[in-house]
Amino acid sequence: MTLTYQRFTAVLLIYGSLFLSGIYYCLRVFWCAAARMSELELEQRTNIKFLVKPGKSGNEIREMLMQVYGDNAMKKTAVYNWVKRFSEGRESVTDEERSGWPATSRTEENIAKIRQIVRENRRLTVRSIAEQVNIDGETVRKILT
């Protein structure tokens, strides 16, 4: 059997689509597992909140979660942290908003300094500008682009 160009492209298309559908399936399973994990976590937090109200201890709550969720139960320290938060009056079961790292180098003052330096000499390197302004080179690059 000789392999013609048409047969080669047909085989390539079939195996290529099978390969891509396999990747799609794996990503879908991973995404669903991550989403499910989040659902389980919120469900367990809600259960912890409910069990804290009648005065159940952290150990009792942990045992109950282990009975219901088995290997998918929250870790002991996470359970104790949530018990403490709900005991102190917290009502929300969702995570607090996080702002990330504070922007300390990309200030208006530094942006103005960099622009002035570049206006005076356009042949400077990012490294030399960073040394003059005393900030990270990556920050200088982001300001310049």
pLDDT in tens, 20-60: 555 555 455 555 544 555 788 889 999 999 999 999 999 99
39, 76, 43: which is closest to 59 by C-alpha?
76
What percentage of the chain exceeds 90 in pLDDT? 48
Counting as low any pLDDT under 70, the low residues of the chain are 1-37, 98-103
Count how many Cα atoms sit within 13 Å of the Cα of residue 105 in the half-sphere of its side chain: 15
pLDDT number for residue 66: 93
pLDDT number for residue 104: 72
pLDDT number for residue 84: 95
Token digits of residue 124: 């400077």
Q: What is the pTM of this model?
A: 0.47
pLDDT number for residue 39: 83
Tracing tokens 């790292």 back to the chain, one arrives at 101
Q: What's the distance, CA 65 to chain centroid?
A: 26
Burial 76-91 (b: 16+ CB within 10 A, else e): eebbbebbebbeeeee
Domain ranges of the chain: 8-87, 108-144
Q: What is the DSSP letter of 121?
A: -
